[in-house]
Structure 1
């Protein structure tokens, strides 16, 4: 039975998650991007500001101030509503994945749950920046610590996801 282009697309983009190369590429790109962008600022900009000072430092401080103020405005205005929505989404995906054994939901949960931790860390960092760590060495240290914590969350997430993916593939026999 020939399904045409629809069948070809689903052959190329396999809808299983843990046995699919695309899932692992998405996981790697996600954590690479998240650890590179700290409060909406590329981390190389932090290094350049620290090394060169002057206009680069001023640009970094301005960009961090703008991004943290924007984020905190969103959190202050609709944070409770967003928290409820995220909690409901994570609960649904977790139940679908681990109670009803839906592989795609498991993969989605393993991608999104650690990102909520990074989001909470970002709000915390933004509050610290707004509270006075917004220039010079305190700002660089705060951004470096934020990036390090994000990378630790990412490493743990990738490790847990890899273990779960291997377990799932071995237990279901899908390879």
Structure 2
């Protein structure tokens, strides 16, 4: 047996029966719920508890991230929407029409993340438009985190159900 055959026999390259896919999925959603608008959520708790410099640091970090994201949206937003839409449509077609499991897995990661991206941009626009600071800013970030977690839980559930279906339909061992 050659080297590549041994690797492909040892490491299952199908997405939904691969332990690494499930680890990556958990890390992906855990990271996304911790980093809200590019700001670690523990900064929100620290700003609420301590105030003062911690609150100022949070406001500065949020301002930088909001301005950065909205600049990208203003400069290339239409192109980003077109490219992401085309990519998701391609992954959905390849995955669910042509039954390519890797495309299914990438779509089940990418589609919910596009929803999170849209929510984040809407929150960034509200934060900058309303000039949120202090407790109002903390509340907005907490609400955004809540919805990111809801989307993540639904995405993990749907991915798990689809993955179990795929494993049962195609057989994990065969």
1:102 is aligned to 2:100 = yes
User: Structure 2: which 5+ residue stretches go unaligned?
Assistant: none
Provide the residue aligned with 2:15 in structure 1: 17
- Please state how far the C-alpha of 1:12 moved relative to its aligned partner: 4.3
Q: Whole-Å Cα distance in 1 between the matches of residues 123 and 98 of structure 2?
A: 37
Q: 1:52-107 deviations in whole A, cap 9, x for unaligned? A: 00001000000000100000000011000010000000000000000000011101
Provide the residue aligned with 1:152 in structure 2: 150
1:123 is aligned to 2:125 = no
Provide the residue aligned with 2:73 in structure 1: 75
Provide the alpha-carbon RMSD of the alignment: 1.1
1:62 is aligned to 2:60 = yes
Q: 1:138-175 deviations in whole A, cap 9, x for unaligned? A: 10110000000000000000000001011111111224
Give TM-score, length-normalised by structure 2.
0.96
The equivalent position to 2:28 in structure 1, one of 10, 30, 40, is 30
The equivalent position to 2:48 in structure 1, one of 35, 47, 50, is 50
The size of the alignment, in residue pairs, is: 173
Kept after mapping to 2: 8 A contact 1:46/1:140: yes
Q: Whole-Å Cα distance in 2 between the matches of residues 140 and 79 of structure 1?
A: 26
- Please state how far the C-alpha of 1:121 moved relative to its aligned partner: 0.6
Q: Whole-Å Cα distance in 2 between the matches of residues 91 and 50 of structure 1?
A: 42
Provide the residue aligned with 2:2 in structure 1: 3
User: Structure 1: which 5+ residue stretches go unaligned?
Assistant: none
Q: Whole-Å Cα distance in 2 between the matches of residues 94 and 66 of structure 1?
A: 34
Give TM-score, length-normalised by structure 1.
0.95
Q: 1:109 to 1:53 in 2, by over 3 A?
A: same
Secondary structure at the aligned position of 2:30 is classed as: helix
Q: Whole-Å Cα distance in 2 between the matches of residues 169 and 8 of structure 1?
A: 22
